[in-house]
Amino acid sequence: MTKAIKLLTALPPPQRERMMALAREVSFPEDTRIFESGTTADRFWVIRSGAVSLDQRVNQLQRVTVATLGAGDLLGWSWLFPPHKWDFGAEAFSRVRAYEFDAAAVLRLCEEDPALGLTLVRCVAEILAHRLEATRVRLMEQPAPHTRKVL
């Protein structure tokens, strides 16, 4: 499996500085719901410390954790793609400190600086590819509920 990239360290220094000019420091207490699946995705975070679990609701009573994110990880990518709705929910697994970015401001910056926009999209795509690969590996490690012969 490829190594996960970290968004801010993957950006070249001048682009990172431009992004960080838009950052706002925030924190979330343990067990705080950060966002819910299906709600408007108008911001994203880069985790500085703590842990966040991404989850998917399987029914009204049950959520399944699909990933756990930590320091340096990107939290939220749905802001980048229409319809700009969260695909998962997120909850602070421990106290979390993060940089918060307003999606509209970042998208304006990307329009002003297409090279930064392309780099950002490539970084997010690489992060998504890594998470998809990690999910695939996790699913393959799970015991099958039943097996059937393939002829």
Query: Using one digit for the tens of pLDDT, what is the confidence trace for 54-85?
Result: 988 888 888 888 889 999 999 999 999 999 99
Q: What is the pLDDT of residue 148?
A: 47
Q: What is the pLDDT of residue 113?
A: 94
**Greater pLDDT, 10 or 113:** 113
Q: CA-CA-CA-CA torsion for 134, 138, 139, 143, nearest 10 degrees?
A: 170
Q: What is the CA radius of gyration of the chain?
A: 17
CA 112 to chain centre: 24
- With bands split at pLDDT 50, 70 and 90, how would you rate the model's confidence at 128? confident
Structure tokens at 92: 């602070």
* Percent share of the chain, pLDDT over 90: 64
Q: What is the pLDDT of residues 34-60, one digit of tens each?
A: 999 999 999 999 999 999 999 888 888
